[in-house]
């Protein structure tokens, strides 16, 4: 099974395991501006950076990201305990939330099956 489908399936399976009440995660709001840094896993992949903005509306987040090349991505995410899952067009990103609201995760690209790592750091 391709990595993208594995990550999507794992994300969807988290909801019944943890229960819908955890989706609201009332004590934590990840809304705000973040710096983005990441890199794909292929040898030819170069590091990238940019900015993301997360906005929460009830249980769902909207995200808008722009990388250094000017490419724009928009998507939707959910927070499940310490895991934040975000779907940005062709990308699924699954992050672990740090105590400082930093997000460290892995991504999968739906069309190329490329993967990589990414970190979002809150702008102070």
> Residue 21 has what pLDDT?
42
**Among the ranges given (4-13, 62-71, 107-116), the one the predictor scored with the smallest mean pLDDT:** 4-13
- pLDDT at position 18, please? 44
The residue that leads in pLDDT, 67 or 4, is 67
Q: What is the sign, positive or negative, of the torsion defined by CA atoms of 117, 72, 97, 83?
A: negative
Q: Residue 80: pLDDT band by 50, 70, 90 thresholds?
A: very high
100 found inside a domain:
yes
pLDDT for the residue numbered 123:
97
Whether the predicted pLDDT of 110 surpasses 70: yes
Domain hosting residue 95, numbered range: 3-11+30-122
Q: Considering the domain boundaries, does residue 110 fall inside one?
A: yes
Q: Which range has the worst mean pLDDT, 27-31, 35-39, 58-62? A: 27-31
| Domain CATH for 64 | 2.40.128.120
39-55 residues labelled b (16+ CB within 10 A) or e (exposed): ebeeeeeeebebebebe
Residue 90 covered by a domain: yes
Whether the per-residue pLDDT at 16 is higher than 50: the answer is no
Q: In the chain, how many domains are there? A: 1
Per mean pLDDT, which range of 17-21, 45-49, 89-93 is the poorest?
Answer: 17-21
Q: Is residue 17 part of a domain?
A: no
> Is residue 18 assigned to a domain?
no
pTM for this entry:
0.79
């Amino acid at each position: 099974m391709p990595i993208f489908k594995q990550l999507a399936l794992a994300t969807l399976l988290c909801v019944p395991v943890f229960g819908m009440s955890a989706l609201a995660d009332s004590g934590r709001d990840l809304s705000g501006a973040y710096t983005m840094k990441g890199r794909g896993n292929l040898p030819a992949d170069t590091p990238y950076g940019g900015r993301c903005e997360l906005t929460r509306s009830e249980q769902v987040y909207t995200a808008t990201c722009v990388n250094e090349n000017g490419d724009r991505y928009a998507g939707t995410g959910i927070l499940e305990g310490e895991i934040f899952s975000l779907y940005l067009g062709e990308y699924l990103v699954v992050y672990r939330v740090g105590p400082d609201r930093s997000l460290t995760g892995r991504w999968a690209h739906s069309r190329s099956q490329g993967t990589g790592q990414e970190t979002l750091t809150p702008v102070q």
